[in-house]
Structure 1
Amino acid sequence: MPKAQAKLSHQPRPAAKTAPASGKAAGQRYAATGIEEVTVTSQKRAASAQKTPISMSVWKGKDLQTLGISNLEALSTVAPDINFLQTEGQAVITIRGISSHDTSEIGDPAVAIATDGVYTNRGYSFNNSFYDLDRIEIERGPQGTLSGRNAVGGAINLITAKPTKKQEANAKVEFGNYGAINSWAMVNQPISDKVQIRAAFNSTHHEGYRDLGKSGYGDGANDVSGRLTLAFQPFKGFSGNISYQGTHIGGAGQAVYNVSYRFGADGNLLTSQPDLPSGNPRHLPIPTTPQVSTLDNALRWNFDYKLPYVTLSYLGGYDATNYKEVNDSSSNVSYSRQIETWNANEHPKTQNQEFRISSDENYKFFWTTGIYYFKENNSLTSFDAIPVDDAWGRSLIFNYNTLARSLAWYAHGTWKILPTLRLTGGVRYNWDSKTRSGNIMFPTDSSSLPYNYITSPNYGHASWTKATWHAGIEYDITPRNMAYFKVDTGYKPGGFTDLNAYNPENVRSYELGFKNRFWHNRLQFNISGFWEDYTGQQVSQIINNLGGGGEIIDNAGSSRIYGVDPNLVLQIPHVGQFDFDFQWLHARFRDFSVAVQKPMADGTSAIIMQQFSGNQLPQAPNFSVGAGFTRYWTVPSGRVMTQIRTRFQSSNYFYFTNTGDTKQHAYTNTTALAEYFPDMGHWHAQVFIRNLENSRIFTYAAENGYANAYTYSFAAPRTFGGSISVDY
């Protein structure tokens, strides 16, 4: 349910000024006519967000840049409908309590993330992709019919800005504490009436937020990315876009802070939160140096040919990633040594192919149908390393090659019973397969080099088929008020780990929604209520095994999710714009009986069967609130835009056991900024402060049976600075 938010664009003459939205449902303008409509493509065709029967939010690219948001973690600080977790360099997104913490080479996300409709299975490259965007669309709830597998929680689509026939350019440089220097730039150049080109650039640099002492710094950034897009319209009815994006992510890697397990007098593990540095910690005693180095090259294309009755579309993409990261896994009771690192090295290569036929919307019945193909090849050599004889020995090695394929056919149609009443329906048939071959290697004696290894071959293969469907009804109460009811299903394939196999997960969602504009188009109120039955949820455990450790995935019996998410936007002339986003969520396991490994003080472990019915799903807070206010002030020789935006989230857990050591306490996260627009000139300047409260927000919290430690990572602390921008 889109909403307009605050940024008002500057024009030299106050009377001519309009106000671009600055936040959710951006693209809507604060103008004399009120909230402007924003166009989205969430249903494979362009439509007004207010006429799209989906609970969704839309963020305009320029507004993300105003707020300094360049990745998913930063977006989660202002968007109350998503929760963020990061592990081994990959982003894990949760929507309405549904997520997947399995980031292994076989795992799949539960929220489908795509750029220009091209799906990405691994979240490495999204850490520096939020630049020169037209918008980001966040769809809540399962989107299995049009977005396909792995959209059980929802879907996020990044829409890049396309070349236009207008010559323009802009640039921005931002400075801040922690030695931050960030930059954005774009040049758009029409070559002819039929060919245009657009080049964009982004760089992010700051020293590590965590001072690790002798180990250097963690949670730093030294990233650079560039995108080149070619648009062409060689003959009537045909249009095409081809883009290349190259991204390098470097700097100090994610700081992973391990606290050795504590045990009670009875030898059982204590599950209360251990002593952690107070506040949002600057100093963390981590004995090894985290590092990250990722190179991603992506090619994407989209071609549309409009015929008299139908439009033919072909889109696709190819993505190759070289990912390397080193994290600390040291612990005083680690299975090998006190000092230890985990070294992840993966090389996924993915391709997407989609061919679609869409009918003209002017007919009483209009439809879309298509076929989709996805393939991922991945090779990895990941290992544990420990110091031995003034060198580093690889104490546990994983060598794997994986192949994942997905093929699907889908169809979606709308029947106009009356000019104001429509029925919708859709179906998708999915075929998925995964294969992995390789081995695990561990030394016969880890006390001295060189090692002699025992090799354990490992092979797995599985395939699945599944049909998902959609049914809905829409009614236009007035030209500016609509109601809808829909039922959607979603599915995520199963898989296998080194230790076990697991089944697919499925969800069925019922949603009733209203989208409204009132008061001469200056008040927007959207609300949806939802009920979801979630079965087979894939829940991960990190356990101690084979003298080392590993991950197992269990399927929960069933979960029940329901809630409401109202959204309000109010524009008051001569005052400013208010926006309010609220989500009440009840997400609980109904049946989840699973064997849990319980470490003991004597180094052994007990396997205990437990029932977690009634526990809160991971990262599913009961309440999430986003609120903002924007106002323009007239000052000598120009205007100043002020904006304040905050997010409140109630307490929640990162782990299905709901123990205190994995609990995120309630917090607020506030951003405030002021931007000056002169009456003359092409520049504007901004000052800002982010995470005003310096809240301690976890991006990871778990009991880590691999390191025998409580493991934590932290979101960015308070940052502040300023920027200068130019536009031509």
Structure 2
Amino acid sequence: MYPLPTLQQRLTLAQAIRQISCVGVIAGLSSGLQAAQLEEVLVTAQHRAENVQDVPIAISAIGGEELAKSDIFDAGSIAARVPGLSYTEFSPGQGSPSMRGITSTDDGAGLDNSVSLFLDGVYIGRGAAINFDMFDLQRLEVLRGPQGTLFGRNAIGGAISVVTSKPTDEFSAKVGVTVGNEGILRYQGLVSGGLSDNLAGKVSLSHRERDGYVDNVLLNKDQKDEDQDSYRGQLLLTLDNSEWLLSVDYMTDEREDMGRTPVFDRAPLSAIMAANGVTDDLQTVAPFDGFSDREASGISLQGTIDFDQGVLTTITSFRHAETDWAMSSIGAPMGVLGLPFDELIDDIEEDIDTYSQELRWTSKLDGNFNYTAGLYYLNEQTLRREMFQTTSPSTAVPGTLRVATLGDGTIVGNEISITDNETNSYAAYGQGTWDFNEQWSLTVGARYTIDKKDYRATSINCGLDLSGTEFANTPECAGAGSSLGLIAEVFTVEPSDDWSDFSPKISLEYHPNSETMIFASASKGFKSGGFAGSQGVEAAADVPVDPETAWNYELGSKSDLLDKSLRLNTTLYYTDYKDLQTVRFGRVNPSDPFGTFLTTNIGSATIQGAEIELTWFATDRFQLSGNYAYLETDTEDLVINGVDVSGTHLRQAPRNSSSIVADYTLPTDVGDFDFRLDYSYTDQQVMDFLDEEAFLEARELFNARIAWASTDQRWDVSLWVKNLKDEAYIAHVYTVGPGVIGVWGEPRTYGLSVNYSL
């Protein structure tokens, strides 16, 4: 039996039903304007091709052309166009998507993300692999709210489905080049066509590069650059009753330091940072010149076999990803915090191998009932090595700056964590829809999941004890000295655990007319349990983290109005979120002056909100689209480090977020000119339950684009600018010791793009 909303919440939902139902009343209205009609958008959110307006799920579907116009190219750039979605990045290999306030903050080998990403139906779960170049896409589908039935484990917040463009029988080719300020250089290309009567192939590539835009005043160089190459090859074999798609992809991403910096306008670091030369935005004094190298690759075979009663789909995939990065942990010498050390350096390596197999049957019955059923298996092996190194006490002076290098001087603190996790996940699922008549339908589904994790963690912790405790001399900490009084702890733990979950869904759909659908649903999401990463104390490393669960209750409407020139989709939801897997920075050992990141299950939360999406062809030339999301959260039984912070807003959950896009097309004898302006707003976001200074400020961003397309549609040229007002903003923050550390967002960029198609 699942938990039900309270009486007050049910009354609120009842009032909302009456209000949303009124949308259907105006469905038959027509406009006197000469407006274009919106095209039908097909999605596969329920594992069958359907009009997005007929799917009882809150979905944002963005086509390939719109993705290119909006310069949406990775997980981070999606957020501005999707209500309820937020994305932050601690480093290139530690992306953190958040959907409706549900997110993950532990990137250790034994835990998972709360928002699942799928590439052509293949699950990509690790943070080191989710932020890839999304080029040459057919569409992007973002499903909001728990998607436990069809998308499975770890889709507790939602799912992002990336669908690539497939090979074509007819020959086609495209090449594009972009140049801009900040050293921007991008180029893309593809070739597609038939290789024989029933075989087509496609090869595509993308390169993105940009200079760093964060000024390191200590090292006298720019940081936070970009240099990424991506390749994809596909073969499509079409037989009499089946189709087989073989896909191979590879990505390499090489960058310098992220340019982390203490946020100098927030206590207690303001005066110290200003005294050492950090007086402006987009600056840092990190004494270590870091780097980030990532590689990701995959191969998948997807087959669809057509039978009289349905379609059998098989998806087999193997993916590999590895990352290696080292950066200043706080973006400044430790002397800024008043400690006699030069630097705290994060040095991370991670290697991930993932194999998955899905077998799915999708019926195509003639009657009023159709269903989908499937089996799923995943094996994922993650090896991660983390080293946090503090160096050079003999020459460092508290409050002063000094350049440091990896391994420089004497090691005074060296915490090494080596974690190895193997996950085996098994699932069976099914979902069916009954059409009672032309107006009413009922959808019922469920998924049963078994997750098993075998974990091994070795910790070599040369901790710091400023009280004078003598140093325990181990080989790993040799040479650290004892002038400051050091302690060491070395241990290995090998825990294992398994979890199971039953994730049901029920949805009732009502079509008052052919242009409107109203739906009400209840669904459950499940995020696997696991083991926290980088635990410096044996007592914490050996304890499993329990799964998270979320029950979501949703009421929505989808309408095509004004002779299908206006599309209006609205959603109200209430989520009961249990056993939050929360990362906090704390001290298991009171004598440790730094502490460590700890992940535990603490508290629960209720989440409620509203979302609106609108697309309107005001005329055949002018299109207006936008969205708005309101999000309210309330935490309960949230006790961290002995402090009760219940009632605190959830992390990375802006109360208000919105975007508006205005697009005007002017046809002429020499081609079409397109004028585009888009705006996005993101409200303030809490980033740490205990530190009121750890927050992201509200921000407004404007982008603009002027484009020309030739009459034969082969050439298109565009001038564009992003962050038009050149707003300086912090894109991610976290707390370390007494300081708030931030990562700067991208400043104003502008450039010229030229594309040619055959």
Q: Does the CA contact (< 8 Å) of 1:211 and 1:217 recur in 2?
A: yes
Query: Aligned pair 1:221/2:221, yes or no?
Result: no
Q: Does the CA contact (< 8 Å) of 1:279 and 1:696 recur in 2?
A: no
**Residue matched to 1:554:** 600
CA distance, structure 1, for counterparts of residue 350 and residue 270 of structure 2: 33
**Residue matched to 1:672:** 704
TM-score using structure 1 length: 0.88
CA distance 1:670–1:80, shift in 2 (3 Å): farther
Query: Aligned pair 1:532/2:532, yes or no?
Result: no
| Equivalent residue runs for 1:69-84 within 5 Å | 69-84=72-87
CA distance 1:447–1:574, shift in 2 (3 Å): same
Query: Aligned pair 1:58/2:61, yes or no?
Result: yes
Q: Which amino acid aligns with 2:309?
A: Y
Q: Which amino acid aligns with 1:436?
A: Y
- Show CA shifts across 1:482-533 (max 9, x none): 1111110011122222325322111111111111111111011111111111
Q: Which amino acid aligns with 1:292?
A: S
SS in 1 for 2:342: coil
1:575 Cα shift?
4.6
CA distance, structure 2, for counterparts of residue 126 and residue 595 of structure 1: 30
**Residue matched to 2:296:** 296
1:193 Cα shift?
2.7
Q: Does the CA contact (< 8 Å) of 2:108 and 2:384 recur in 1?
A: no
Q: Which amino acid aligns with 1:469?
A: P
**Residue matched to 2:312:** 312
CA distance 1:270–1:216, shift in 2 (3 Å): closer
TM-score using structure 2 length: 0.85
User: Aligned pair count?
Assistant: 677
CA distance 1:105–1:34, shift in 2 (3 Å): same
Q: Which amino acid aligns with 1:560?
A: T
1:164 Cα shift?
1.7
SS in 1 for 2:283: coil
**Residue matched to 1:154:** 158
CA distance, structure 2, for counterparts of residue 671 and residue 291 of structure 1: 30
Q: Does the CA contact (< 8 Å) of 1:561 and 1:586 recur in 2?
A: yes
- Show CA shifts across 1:193-230 (max 9, x none): 31000111011101112121416332211110100011
1:270 Cα shift?
9.4
CA distance, structure 1, for counterparts of residue 565 and residue 621 of structure 2: 12
CA distance 1:342–1:473, shift in 2 (3 Å): same
**Residue matched to 2:466:** none
Q: Does the CA contact (< 8 Å) of 2:117 and 2:130 recur in 1?
A: no
CA distance 1:298–1:334, shift in 2 (3 Å): farther
CA distance, structure 2, for counterparts of residue 432 and residue 122 of structure 1: 16
**Residue matched to 2:5:** none
CA distance 1:662–1:621, shift in 2 (3 Å): same
Question: Which stretch shows the higher mean deviation, 31-40 or 199-208?
Answer: 31-40
1:295 Cα shift?
1.2
CA distance, structure 1, for counterparts of residue 695 and residue 322 of structure 2: 33
Query: Aligned pair 1:568/2:571, yes or no?
Result: no
Q: Does the CA contact (< 8 Å) of 2:75 and 2:131 recur in 1?
A: yes
SS in 2 for 1:65: helix
CA distance, structure 2, for counterparts of residue 78 and residue 525 of structure 1: 15
**Residue matched to 1:325:** 325
How high is the sequence identity, in percent, across the aligned residues?
23
Question: Which stretch shows the higher mean deviation, 433-442 or 147-156?
Answer: 433-442
CA distance 1:713–1:592, shift in 2 (3 Å): farther
CA distance 1:120–1:271, shift in 2 (3 Å): farther
Gap runs ≥5 in structure 1: 1-29, 264-268, 597-608
Gap runs ≥5 in structure 2: 1-32, 395-404, 463-471
Q: Does the CA contact (< 8 Å) of 2:278 and 2:285 recur in 1?
A: no
CA distance, structure 1, for counterparts of residue 308 and residue 83 of structure 2: 43
CA distance, structure 1, for counterparts of residue 493 and residue 208 of structure 2: 40
- Show CA shifts across 1:299-340 (max 9, x none): 122101010112111002111112111121242248782212
Q: Which amino acid aligns with 1:610?
A: V
1:100 Cα shift?
0.9
**Residue matched to 2:88:** 85
Q: Which amino acid aligns with 2:61?
A: V
**Residue matched to 1:373:** 377
1:635 Cα shift?
4.8
Q: 1:506 aligns with which of 542, 545, 549?
A: 549
1:272 Cα shift?
13
1:275 Cα shift?
7.5
Q: Which amino acid aligns with 2:448?
A: Y
- Show CA shifts across 1:9-32 (max 9, x none): xxxxxxxxxxxxxxxxxxxxx997
Q: Which amino acid aligns with 1:242?
A: L
| Equivalent residue runs for 1:419-430 within 5 Å | 419-430=438-449
SS in 1 for 2:375: strand
CA distance, structure 2, for counterparts of residue 324 and residue 337 of structure 1: 24
**Residue matched to 2:647:** 614
CA distance, structure 2, for counterparts of residue 364 and residue 618 of structure 1: 44
CA distance 1:115–1:293, shift in 2 (3 Å): same
1:273 Cα shift?
13
CA distance 1:580–1:32, shift in 2 (3 Å): closer
Q: Does the CA contact (< 8 Å) of 2:236 and 2:245 recur in 1?
A: yes
Query: Aligned pair 1:42/2:45, yes or no?
Result: yes
CA distance, structure 2, for counterparts of residue 361 and residue 271 of structure 1: 67
- Show CA shifts across 1:517-567 (max 9, x none): 111110111111111111111111022455454222232332111111112
Q: 1:710 aligns with which of 737, 740, 758?
A: 740
Query: Aligned pair 1:630/2:663, yes or no?
Result: yes
Q: Does the CA contact (< 8 Å) of 1:79 and 1:647 recur in 2?
A: no
Question: Which stretch shows the higher mean deviation, 663-672 or 508-517?
Answer: 663-672
- Show CA shifts across 1:399-455 (max 9, x none): 222111211110101111113321110011110122211311134466836999753
C-alpha RMSD of the superposition: 2.7
CA distance 1:293–1:616, shift in 2 (3 Å): same
CA distance, structure 1, for counterparts of residue 435 and residue 223 of structure 2: 56
Q: Which amino acid aligns with 1:302?
A: Q
CA distance 1:178–1:270, shift in 2 (3 Å): closer
Query: Aligned pair 1:639/2:672, yes or no?
Result: yes
CA distance, structure 2, for counterparts of residue 417 and residue 262 of structure 1: 60
SS in 1 for 2:343: coil
CA distance, structure 2, for counterparts of residue 549 and residue 278 of structure 1: 26
CA distance 1:419–1:101, shift in 2 (3 Å): same
CA distance, structure 2, for counterparts of residue 490 and residue 275 of structure 1: 47
CA distance 1:183–1:571, shift in 2 (3 Å): same
CA distance, structure 2, for counterparts of residue 130 and residue 189 of structure 1: 21
| Equivalent residue runs for 1:574-585 within 5 Å | 574-585=620-631
